[in-house]
Structure 1
Amino acid sequence: MELRTIVELFAVYAAISLIVPRILANPGLVSKRPGFVLWAWFICLGIAALSLLAALVGLVGRALAQHVVEDNSARIVVPILENIFGWIALGVLGILVFRFGAALGELRSSRRALSEQFTLLISQGQITELSGHRVMIFDSAQSVLMAVPSAQCIMVSSHIVTTLSPELLRAALAHEQAHLDQRHGVIRAAGVLAMAVAPGFSASERMAQATRITTELLADDAAAKQFSKHTVAQALRACFGASPLVDERIARLEN
């Protein structure tokens, strides 16, 4: 690979890393077009990761070429630098593989912990059909409502079932069903792995948070298509109480 191409690939990676998070993490854009933000984020992550990996592989390739091609020219500094940068690139590739493996291991551990929790709660509750959704209801005085992608089921506490009105309960379940139907669990997992491969690009905490928020907003919008926005907002308040994120989502629906 030509040195100029390698430099251009690094430039693409750096440009995306510096510019894209500032644009996509804009609260107004996230609120108005969460779907666009989500997919634009993944597309840019993919481009950045591929650019970085290609550039690193190119550096390693140029370093290896120094050992198989005799160079009778007077150049000394350039081959030495290419060897140094080649070893550095090889080390960075090793780090990226390690980060990817570590992130994958964490995802598997969290998924296994959730499955174990779900299995434990099954003995205390029952899986049934509720308002057209596959729901596992368990006895608890706390407000618990969450989608369990591994079981393709919605976990809900008896407190929510008994305290919410039928309409609010249906709206809340529709929100969680959207997480399952739109495979938000897979999207979030893919985001974690992609950011592990592109360490510089994943440094923006605001963008990482915006990525998680978009899946919630998309689920809100999906539920609002079946019920009024006001009903979904009331369901959010009844299920999750007051918090900055919930308040922002409610204000978005009400406005």
Structure 2
Amino acid sequence: MDSDTFRDPSAVKAAEATAPVTVVAHRGDPYRVRENTLRSIASAVERGADAVEVDVRLTKDGVPVLLHDDTLKRLWGHDRPLAALTYEQAGELTYGGIPTLREALLTAGEKRLMLDLPGGNEDSVRTIVRTVRECGAGERVYYCAGAVAMLQVRAADPAAEIALTWTSLAPPRPVLLDAVRPRWLNYRFGLVSRELTERLHRDGLLVSAWTADTPRTMRKLIRNGVDSITTNRVDTLAAVLRKAHP
């Protein structure tokens, strides 16, 4: 859907009435399978995800892998910073459980990956973007994070699709939007209202919301006209959408 459509208020209403909501699995299917793993991605896809949001960081030797935290403690029981471990060392500590970005792209198949870049810096962002390019996955990947990381993504790939994570009701400044050129604004679900989505649609932007896990919240976001919902409960969201759009 092009941005000109969203600048026409009458077209916006028609589009909202017919456009499906993108189902984004938060770190895979984490209530069933350990987050940010290949099994979690596969489970999310099986349960109806259109896209899977994963977190990407670099090991000490520059391998992009899936991990949200900066250490292995919460998920893997080792209080060791990922940045201090080689890929081989991280694999030994997790019994091969931490996948590479390349493996994640292969597991997702035709589904899209939404790459969150926690702690991203210029070097790591360049490496991650280069890996996506080398895998020929530019059309299957989009990026989300705050302004600093997304500016670095834009510098590394002028054609990248970006979901700028925004945590305030105060709108991003036009100079930032001009520099990042996001397709999406990515909001915590509690900030999203009908007025917000209508304003952003008029500005030619799509709206994604995170992380909604109850049917009540999901239904409210759908009524408010969001284009994408990120959830830990993919099957619940898929069921809500089937009822909303039988």
What TM-score range do you get, normalising by the shorter chain?
under 0.3
Question: Which has the larger strand fraction?
Answer: 2
Question: Which has the larger helix fraction?
Answer: 1
Q: TM-score normalised to the size of structure 2?
A: 0.23
Q: TM-score normalised to the size of structure 1?
A: 0.22
